[in-house]
Structure 1
Amino acid sequence: MSKKKPLSHGQLRRMRANHEKRLSRGSTENQLPEINDSSLGQEQAATVISRFGQHADVETQDGEQVRCNIRRTIASLVTGDKVIVRLSTEPGSAIGGVVEAVHPRHSTLTRPDLYDGVKIIAANIDQILIVSSVVPAFTTQIIDRYLVAAEDTGIEPTIILNKTDLLPPEQEPEIEAALQRYQAIGYRVFRLSSKTGEGIDDIKHLLDGKVSIFVGQSGVGKSSIVNSLLPEAELLTGAVSETSGLGQHTTTTSKLLHLPSGGDLIDSPGVREFALWHLPAERVGWCFVEFRDFLGTCKFRDCKHLDDPGCALKVALAEGKISEDRFNNYHRIIASLDEQRHARYFRGSED
């Protein structure tokens, strides 16, 4: 397949303008009916369970779930947000209430978007569970992209290898070595099989009392894990495409689910690749945790950590203080930054 040429600045401007027109038309066509303030009750605290265009499903402190309109003054609202709402006092009202304000977030999970810049996926998350599996093929490149995203946001990541029941014996040493490398630099690693139940109890304990989110490629089994943890959620599970080997996306919008342990789980749309083009190269390097002791100690300030003389990372690599796999993945991410910044970032159902 031929490589797509980067979009020109003029093309990008026209695309953004068209997108804004579509948003303007959509906001008018899909906006919920207005509510008279006199029909609203007192302000109360709530949590956003899910966001749908111009409205959101919220849950009040007494457990009532209501679909609410969103004040136009609210610039951003995502699953996990802590909000102030006023509920309708009119019986049979088409709208359950209005989201009036959003509390400050203690954490946000973001991803870059061509039109919206850095787009927030979910808020107030305590930990990110990075799910990989042997089907589709296990790859440390994707894991490292998610780890960079997690380190950038300051949300604690954990790595989960799913579908261990499908692990071919001949691949086990290579995958096990990769997982041990992550453990050696301080990351928690769990091995899981939704089919056999292996590791499910460990994951339940990990989620206890926290707000967590699963991330990973489509097809790695995120929804299957949620079904194992919370069968009553009845989430869709998608098979891996036999023709492409890629997972078929099943989740379409982020949703906050309550776990029996008292913790919360945000189930979010899967992505094939976690783009990082919004991050400068220096930030990407810092997000490789084992690099931090060596960054800033190279002979030259503008060291690219390739064949530069006096490169501290190259010395650390030669001395076995950082792994070759992680070092190579770092350079793959750096090489992709400019291309991703200019590429058309539309993925349709893959997002």
Structure 2
Amino acid sequence: MSARKLTRQQQWRIDKVQDERNTRALRKDKRLDSSHQEGLTTEPQQGLVTAHFGRQVEVEAVDGALQGQRQRCHVRANVENLVTGDYVSWRANQNPLEEGVVESRQARRSLLARPDMRGVMKPIAANVDQLLLVIAPEPEPHANLIDRYLVAAEHTGIEPVLLINKWDLMQQGVLTAEQEALINGLLATYRQLGYQVLISSAYQEKVLQQLQQQLKDRISVFVGQSGVGKSSLINYLLPGVDLRVGSLSEDTRKGRHTTTTARLFHFPVGGQLIDSPGIREFSLGYLQPEQIAQGFPEFRPFLGLCRFRDCKHKEDPGCALKEAVAEGKVAATRFASYHHIVQSLSS
């Protein structure tokens, strides 16, 4: 469905509201300058956004005499949307009870975003090095949801790592045969595709050592369904943080969302973690079908080899991708997952 064209009057109202917002923001900038100018440091310095609160952000000094200290800051009206993980140029306030000022944002290496309730892409975190997709025996993992995260990671250029949490449940024999078969099947499938797969448990220190090495000296984001144990893992990896842990609903066995804003934490051995809000579904509506296909690495050798340039990889004759599935070069489950994602784009 094509977007409805706005009338001239509707566009005028939208522009008027935006102008009024910009005017109010500029007035606030001027009031801040007049009331806090004396308390602000003379020279701007580099800072790291560690949390976001509407028009305010929390910034950590990464150099200078204030290195390591954090302060809430007002964001100037001309600075584009900031997210946790952004590096900024800012001026601290010598009074820790007053606000500092963010004057500009530095270039980003990467940007992780997800759609909001209206389908508009909303940035979550910047400068992320790796995306740790956490799954667990409970709530039951779904390959299609995993594939959505992997496609998003491939599209943004962020390295994905599949993390199987609550591994102690596998060893305790409390899972059904079907649950064990599902987890082992996922392990085999994604390892065969070349994705890095790690196991973890907040209750087994030994199995967490490999995870700790993976997190060292990198900026990481944990994503996945609520209830898979992200907060419990973070509480172990970052003693003293004590994130609120949500229990599984007895009725639905789905997790309750507990994290409300993205925050950045430092690991004692180096590296940072951005804890993002839980996401039960991950829409890829901002991508075209061709981009979705590129997000499946095993598809790439066959893309562009179909008889017809506009091949939809369904009933089209001469489809190289369908032939690859028939010959066992591409898993039928992944091919079905691709079509499920593409179909959801138009629903």
Alignment TM-score, normalising by the size of structure 1: 0.86
- Among 79, 83, 87, which residue is 2:88 paired with? 83
1:73 maps to amino acid: N
Q: Alignment partner of 1:261: what SS?
A: coil
Quick one: distance in 1 between partners of 2:180 and 2:345? 32
- Among 56, 60, 70, which residue is 1:65 paired with? 70
1:117 maps to amino acid: V
Q: Alignment partner of 1:88: what SS?
A: coil
Q: Alignment partner of 2:32: what SS?
A: coil
CA contact (8 A) 2:80 2:105 kept: no
CA contact (8 A) 1:295 1:312 kept: yes
What does 1:68-217 correspond to in 2, within 5 Å? 68-89=73-94, 91=95, 93-95=97-99, 97-113=100-116, 117-167=120-170, 168-170=175-177, 171-197=179-205, 199-217=207-225
* Structure with greater Cα Rg: 2
Question: Which ranges of structure 1 fall in alignment gaps of 5 or more residues?
Answer: 1-5, 340-351
Deviation at 1:189, TM superposition (A): 0.4
Task: Number of aligned residue pairs: give it.
Answer: 324
Q: Alignment partner of 2:231: what SS?
A: helix
Q: Alignment partner of 1:172: what SS?
A: helix
CA contact (8 A) 2:187 2:197 kept: yes
CA contact (8 A) 2:248 2:254 kept: yes
1:203-238 deviation line (CA, Å, top 9, x unaligned): 100001100000111111111111111121111110
Deviation at 1:159, TM superposition (A): 0.2
Deviation at 1:302, TM superposition (A): 1.4
CA contact (8 A) 1:191 1:198 kept: no
- Among 324, 337, 346, which residue is 1:329 paired with? 337
Quick one: distance in 2 between partners of 1:77 and 1:87? 17
Q: In structure 2, what is the equivalent of residue 312 of structure 1?
A: 320
CA contact (8 A) 1:126 1:211 kept: yes
Quick one: distance in 1 between partners of 2:75 and 2:140? 42
What does 1:268-279 correspond to in 2, within 5 Å? 268-279=276-287
| Root-mean-square deviation (Å) | 2.6
2:44 maps to amino acid: E
Q: In structure 2, what is the equivalent of residue 3 of structure 1?
A: none
1:34 maps to amino acid: L
Deviation at 1:114, TM superposition (A): 5.7
Distance change in 2, residues 1:180/1:112 (3 Å):
same
Q: In structure 1, what is the equivalent of residue 266 of structure 2?
A: 258
CA contact (8 A) 1:200 1:228 kept: no
Quick one: distance in 2 between partners of 1:24 and 1:142? 38
Question: Which ranges of structure 2 fall in alignment gaps of 5 or more residues?
Answer: none
Greater CA drift, 291-300 or 114-123: 114-123
1:157-215 deviation line (CA, Å, top 9, x unaligned): 00011112234150223321221111111100012111233521111000011000001
Q: In structure 1, what is the equivalent of residue 47 of structure 2?
A: 46
Distance change in 2, residues 1:312/1:8 (3 Å):
closer
CA contact (8 A) 2:131 2:158 kept: yes
Quick one: distance in 2 between partners of 1:116 and 1:93? 38
Quick one: distance in 1 between partners of 2:93 and 2:158? 36
1:254-284 deviation line (CA, Å, top 9, x unaligned): 0000001111000010111011001000000
1:240 maps to amino acid: L
Quick one: distance in 1 between partners of 2:127 and 2:240? 24
Q: In structure 2, what is the equivalent of residue 346 of structure 1?
A: none
Distance change in 2, residues 1:291/1:205 (3 Å):
same
Deviation at 1:65, TM superposition (A): 0.8
Q: In structure 1, what is the equivalent of residue 255 of structure 2?
A: 247
1:102 maps to amino acid: R
Deviation at 1:9, TM superposition (A): 4.6
Deviation at 1:92, TM superposition (A): 6.2
1:52-90 deviation line (CA, Å, top 9, x unaligned): 01111111021111111110111210000011111123x
Q: In structure 2, what is the equivalent of residue 230 of structure 1?
A: 238
Quick one: distance in 2 between partners of 1:52 and 1:302? 45
2:93 maps to amino acid: S
Quick one: distance in 2 between partners of 1:301 and 1:8? 27
1:100-148 deviation line (CA, Å, top 9, x unaligned): 1110001111123365832211000110000111111121111100000
Higher relative contact order (CA 8 A, sep 6+): 1
Quick one: distance in 1 between partners of 2:144 and 2:341? 8
